[in-house]
Structure 1
Amino acid sequence: MELKQLIYFIEVAEREHMSEAAQNLNVAQSALSRQISNLEGELGVELFERASRSLKLLPIGQTVLKEARDIMHQVDHLKKQVDDYKKPESGIVKVGFPTSLATTLLPHLVRTFNENYPTVQFHLRQGSYQFLVDAVKSRELNLAFMGPVITDDPAIKGDRLFYEKMLLLVPRHHRLAGKTSVKMAELQQENFILFPKGYILEKLVIDACRREGFDPHVSTEGEDMDAVKGMVAAGIGVTLLPDSAITQHESSFLTCIPVSDPHVGRSVGMITPTTRQLTPSEQLFYDYVLSQFDEARY
C-alpha cells in the first residue's frame, strides 16, 4: 500500500466523483481509477458502490477513510516534527482555545513568547470545549487551552495553570448591582442567560445552582460571549462568567459581582496528548507557558 493510493482514495471518497477528483489532483482519470482498483485489490474488498456517474462509499469504505485520514495526519505530524527538529525556533505552533480565553490569557502568552522567539509562527483554532478535546485526540491539535482542565482521560494530559472565580454579571441598575458579593441562593428567582446545553460554561452554572438546591430559570440562550453580555446589559437576565472572559468589571451597562457563598470557579490550563510527543516548537511554547505559572500551579 502506498501513500499515493491513500491520498487518491481520500480525494475520491470526499468528492464521490472520479473525474472531479482526478481534475483536483491533476492526474488522468484512468490513472486515478487504476490506483483505486489497486488499493481495493490489495485490501480484498470493494470500497465504493459504483453508480453511472458517481461513487458512494460502502460501510467498509467509511472505515478505511477514517483510518486513511489518521495515517495522513500522522505523516503530516512526522514532516512537521522533522522540520521543527531542524530549527525549532522557526516552527509552527498550532493552539486551540475557547472563546472565554480569547481576549486575555492567550493574546498575552503569544505576545510575550514571540518577544523571545519572534520567528515561531502560530496557527490559532477557536472551538468549543468538546471540539478541543476531540481535536487533541484526533491529532488535529497537539495543544489546547481550556477550563476546567481535564484530569481523568487517559488519552489527555491536563496541566492546571491557575484557578479563577466565576462572577455574577448583572445590568447596571439591577437590584444586586450595589452589593460587594452575593450568595448563589439569592439568585433563585432570577432569569438566567446561559450558553446552550452542551457548552461547558452552561454546565458550570447549572451545577453551581443545583448544589444550592435549585434549577435556574433559563430565559435566553446565546452561543457568543459578547451576545450573552449584551443581553445582560439589556436587562433580559443575569449570568455567571469566568473572570478571564470579562475585560471590564464595571461599565455604563454592566456590573460584575463576586459570588461568595459558595465560591464558584474553574481551573484553567492546557491539554496535550498522552499518546504522542509535541513537536520541538510546540514543546518550546508548552515549557514557556508552564514557566509563567509556576507559583500559581502549586
Structure 2
Amino acid sequence: MLDDIRLFATIVEQTSLNKAAEQLNVSQPALSRRIARLEAELGVDLFRRVGKRLELTAAGQLTYEFSLELRRFHGSYLQKLNAYKSSEAPVATIGASLTTLQSTLPELIKVMTDKHPHLEIKAITGKSHEITTLVKERKVDFGLVSSSIKYDPVITSLPLFDDQLILVLPRTHYILERSHLELTDLNGLPMIVFAPGTWYRTMTDEFFRKYHLKPDVRMEIDSFEAIIRLLSACRAGSLLPQSYLREQLLIDNDLYIVHIKELSDAKRTTSLIHGDLAWLAPATRYLIEETTAHFRRNYNLPKELM
C-alpha cells in the first residue's frame, strides 16, 4: 500500500496519469491498475473525472496529505540512517551520575549497541553538577542525571522517569514474621546504606530526618551490587532506588520488597540533559531521540512494584 500511495502522490503532483507514468517509467494502464487497487484497498475513490481532468476527492486530499507526511518521515529516517554509514563507527560519549551508571546505563548501552552494532558508546561518571558542566563544555554529548537541573539557557533537560527509594530485606529476615510493617519499624533496623555524595544517599538521609528515624547503620558502601550481595549475610535491610531493582535480581539474591507508603514521597526524576542540538552530530541527535523514547516507552518496574 505505501508504494501505491507514493505513486498516487506523483499523479497528484504531475496533474495527469500520462505525465506521472512517464516520470515513474511505467505504462499508463499499469499505473491506472495500481491506483484502482489502492482505491479498492482503502474503500474510497481518490479521484473524480471532470472532463479530461482528474480532481481529488475529499478522501484523495486526505490521502495526499498523508503521503506528504510519509515522504517527510522517510527523508528524516534516511538522513539519520546516513549517520551510521560513514567509514568510521559513530561514537557517543555519555555523562552519567553514579546512580544512573549502576542502575539504568548498562541496560541502555546494551539496547543501543544491539540495535546499532557499529555504535561505540563511551561513558564518563560524576556527580550531577559535574555532568552538567561536562555537557556545557561539550566534553560529553549528553548526560543522564538523577537530580533536578536548575534553569540554564544552554542546557535542555528532558525528564525520563521518576525514581524512588524502596525498602529491601532478605526473605529470611526476622522482621518479616510480622504481618504488617510500619515506618517506625525502621528504628533500630540493621541497614546498609550508600556512601555519602550522591542524590541516593542524600535522599536516604533526608527521609530519616523527616520522619525522625534512627536505623542501625552497619555499613556505608558505594556499590549497589555490593549492598545487594551483603544484605542476607549481614541480615540487614537497605533503601535502594527503584530503577535498580529488577525482578530477577530480587530472585537471585532471595530479597523481598517491603511497601512503606511514606517512601512514595522519596523520589527524584532521572533526566537526559544536552546542549545545543546544532552542535551535535546527526548520530548523537538520533541517539538522544532513541534514548528518550526507550525510557518513556520501555521502562518497566519489577512485577512486585506494580
* Alignment correspondent of 2:183: 184
What's the Cα RMSD here?
3.5
* Structure with greater helix share of residues: 2
Deviation of the 1:286 alpha carbon:
0.4
Closer, same or farther: CA 274–236 of 1 in aligned 2, 3 Å: farther
Closer, same or farther: CA 284–229 of 1 in aligned 2, 3 Å: same
- 2-side partners of 1:179 and 1:273: how far apart? 51
User: Map of 1:62-101 to 2, 5 A cutoff?
Assistant: 88-89=83-84, 90-101=89-100
- 2-side partners of 1:213 and 1:152: how far apart? 32
Deviation of the 1:253 alpha carbon:
4.3
Contact 1:136 / 1:143 at 8 angstroms: preserved in 2?
A: yes
User: Please, which moves more after superposition, 285-294 or 131-140?
Assistant: 131-140
The two structures have a TM-score, normalised by structure 1, of 0.59
Closer, same or farther: CA 278–220 of 1 in aligned 2, 3 Å: same
**Secondary structure of the residue that 1:166 maps to in structure 2?**
strand
* Alignment correspondent of 1:254: 255
Closer, same or farther: CA 201–284 of 1 in aligned 2, 3 Å: same
Which protein shows a greater Rg?
A: 2
Deviation of the 1:94 alpha carbon:
0.8
* Alignment correspondent of 1:166: 165
**Secondary structure of the residue that 1:144 maps to in structure 2?**
strand
Deviation of the 1:103 alpha carbon:
6.2
Contact 1:250 / 1:256 at 8 angstroms: preserved in 2?
A: no
Q: Which amino acid aligns with 1:240?
A: L
Q: Which amino acid aligns with 1:289?
A: T
Contact 1:103 / 1:245 at 8 angstroms: preserved in 2?
A: yes
Contact 1:168 / 1:259 at 8 angstroms: preserved in 2?
A: yes
Q: Which amino acid aligns with 1:255?
A: Y
Q: Which amino acid aligns with 2:267?
A: G
Contact 2:229 / 2:253 at 8 angstroms: preserved in 1?
A: no
How many residue pairs get matched? Answer: 214
* Alignment correspondent of 2:221: 222
2:279 to 268, 277, 280: 277
Deviation of the 1:283 alpha carbon:
0.8
Deviation of the 1:102 alpha carbon:
4.4
Deviation of the 1:161 alpha carbon:
0.9
Q: Which runs of at least 4 in structure 1 moved beyond 6 Å after TM superposition?
A: none
Deviations 1:84-142 (A, max 9, x none): 99952242111123454446633443344345544332122344445433432443212
* Alignment correspondent of 1:197: 196
Deviation of the 1:284 alpha carbon:
0.8
Deviation of the 1:192 alpha carbon:
2.8
Contact 1:232 / 1:238 at 8 angstroms: preserved in 2?
A: yes
- 1-side partners of 2:80 and 2:298: how far apart? 31
Contact 1:206 / 1:216 at 8 angstroms: preserved in 2?
A: no
**Secondary structure of the residue that 2:251 maps to in structure 1?**
coil
User: Please, which moves more after superposition, 277-286 or 112-121?
Assistant: 112-121
* Alignment correspondent of 2:55: none
Runs of 5+ in structure 2 lacking a partner? 1-78, 300-306
Deviations 1:248-285 (A, max 9, x none): 22345432323322413332221223697333221110
- 2-side partners of 1:114 and 1:180: how far apart? 45
Contact 2:99 / 2:200 at 8 angstroms: preserved in 1?
A: no
**Secondary structure of the residue that 1:135 maps to in structure 2?**
helix
* Alignment correspondent of 2:59: none
- 2-side partners of 1:253 and 1:134: how far apart? 40
- 2-side partners of 1:181 and 1:143: how far apart? 44
**Secondary structure of the residue that 2:156 maps to in structure 1?**
strand
Deviation of the 1:188 alpha carbon:
2.2
User: Map of 1:1-298 to 2, 5 A cutoff?
Assistant: 88-89=83-84, 90-102=89-101, 105-153=104-152, 156-177=155-176, 182-214=181-213, 216-235=215-234, 237-247=236-246, 248-251=249-252, 253-263=254-264, 264-273=266-275, 277-294=279-296
Q: Which amino acid aligns with 2:292?
A: L
